[in-house]
Amino acid sequence: ITKTSAEDLLFNYKGVLYPSTICSEELFEALEIFAARDDDLLIATYPKCGTNWVIQILHEMVSIIKNQETVFDHPMIEFGSLQTLEKHTERLSPRIFSSHLKVQMIPKSFFEKKAKILMVMRNPKDAAVSFFNFYKSMPALPTYESWNVFFKDFINGNVCYGSYFDYVAEWDKHIDEENVMVVTFEDMKTDFPTQLKKISEFMRLPLTNEQLCTVESRTSFTSMKEKSEDTHGKLGDAFFRKGQIGDWKNIFTEEQSKEVDEKFQQHLAGTKLGNLLNY
Ligand code: A3P
C-alpha cells in the first residue's frame, strides 16, 4: 500500500488534526445538532486507550441481554459522511457509539438526554506507543520516520485528535456529571471482573455473574485478536497489537519519560482523572 503525504491524509479543524479520508468538517458541523437518545451508550476515549475493547464489551453485554447475536456495527460518531449520520437514526436501541472527539465537540444531546457516557483512560506513555504503531499500520495515517519524531508530535498535540493532555483536562470538568463514568485500561487489565460489573451496572445492562464471565472470555485480548478480521476487516489485526501495561518502557528514553511526567504535572496534576491514573 502506498501512502500519500501527511498533507493529503490529515486536515486541520479548529487547530486539531483529523484523518481526512475518514472525517470531514461537514460531519463535525452536522454533529452539533445530532439527536442522541436517552438510552444511547457512548464510549469516549483519546485514541489507543482501549476504545475497541470497551466497544466489544458493550456489544457482548447488549447481545446477551437481547438474547440474540447482534450485528457488530458500532461506529465512531465522527466517521463517515452525512449519510452515515442519517443511518444512525435507523439503528435499534440501545445504540452503541464511540468517539475520540474532545468533550466540546461531543453532541450536546448526549448530555441533555443523559445518555450513558463511558470514558476510558490509559497511561499516556502506553497510549503514545500504541498510537505510533497504529500510525505505521494504517494507510489512512502518515508514517513517521522514527519514534523520536512521533514522540515530539505527540507531546505537542500535533497528532490526530490533538493533545492527550488537553483531551483529558477538558473531560475532567465533566466527570462528575451523573451520566458519565470513567474506567482505566490499567484497572481493566488488573481487575477485569470488577470493572465489567461496574460497567454493566452503570450502563444499565444487568447481567448475572455467569453472563459476566461469558463477556469476560469473549473480550479477552486473545479472543478479540482472533476475530479481528471479522470485526474490523482486513487490517483488524492492527487494533490488537500487544494489549499490555508498560510497553512504553521498551521504547521511551529516560528524557522522553520525564517530558511526559512534566506535561502531566502541568496539565493534570490534582485533577480527578489524573488521580485515577495513579500517576
Ligand atoms: P497496544 O497497541 O498497546 O497493544 P483503541 O481500541 O482505543 O484503538 O486501543 C488500542 C489498544 O488497546 C491496543 O494497545 C490494543 O492492543 C489494546 N486492546 C484492544 N483490545 C484489548 C483487550 N481485549 N485486552 C487488552 N488490550 C486490548
Which residue has the least CA distance to atom 5 on ligand 1?
A: 48
Which residue has the least CA distance to atom 8 on ligand 1?
A: 48
b/e sequence 193-217, b meaning 16+ C-beta within 10 Å: eebbebbbebbebebeeebbeebbe
Q: How far is the CA of 188 from the centre of ligand 1 (A)?
A: 11
Q: Which residue, 225, 226, 224, 216, is CA-closest to 188?
A: 216
Q: How far is the CA of 221 from the centre of ligand 1 (A)?
A: 8
The predicted structure's pLDDT at residue 1? 38
- Of 59, 74, 88, 100, which residue is the catalytic one? 100
**Which residues are registered as beta bridge partners of 119?**
44, 182
b/e sequence 6-15, b meaning 16+ C-beta within 10 Å: eeebbeeeee
The predicted structure's pLDDT at residue 3? 52
Which residue has the least CA distance to atom 25 on ligand 1?
A: 243
Per-residue pLDDT of the chain (279 residues; tens, 9 = 90+): 345 567 789 999 999 999 999 999 999 999 999 999 999 999 999 999 999 999 999 999 999 999 877 777 778 999 999 999 999 999 999 999 999 999 999 999 999 999 999 999 999 999 999 999 999 999 999 999 999 999 999 999 999 999 999 999 999 999 999 999 999 999 999 999 999 999 999 999 999 999 999 999 999 999 999 999 999 999 999 999 999 999 999 999 999 999 999 999 999 999 999 999 977
Q: How far is the CA of 135 from the centre of ligand 1 (A)?
A: 14
The predicted structure's pLDDT at residue 2? 45
Which residue has the least CA distance to atom 23 on ligand 1?
A: 221
Q: What is 6-276's CATH topology?
A: Rossmann fold (3.40.50)
Query: Cα-Cα-Cα-Cα dihedral of 33, 39, 40, 44, to 10°?
Result: 110
Q: Is 232 a catalytic site residue?
A: no
Which residue has the least CA distance to atom 18 on ligand 1?
A: 243
Query: Which grid cell is 143?
Result: 508514517
Q: How far is the CA of 185 from the centre of ligand 1 (A)?
A: 9
Report the distance separating Cα 138 and Cα 1, nearest Å: 10
Q: Which of 161, 221, 247 for mutating ligand 1's site (highest number of atoms within 8 Å of CB)? A: 221
Query: Which grid cell is 128?
Result: 503514545
Q: Which of 120, 240, 252 for mutating ligand 1's site (highest number of atoms within 8 Å of CB)? A: 240
Pocket of ligand 1 (CB under 6 A): 45, 47-53, 126, 130, 133, 219-221, 224, 239-243, 247
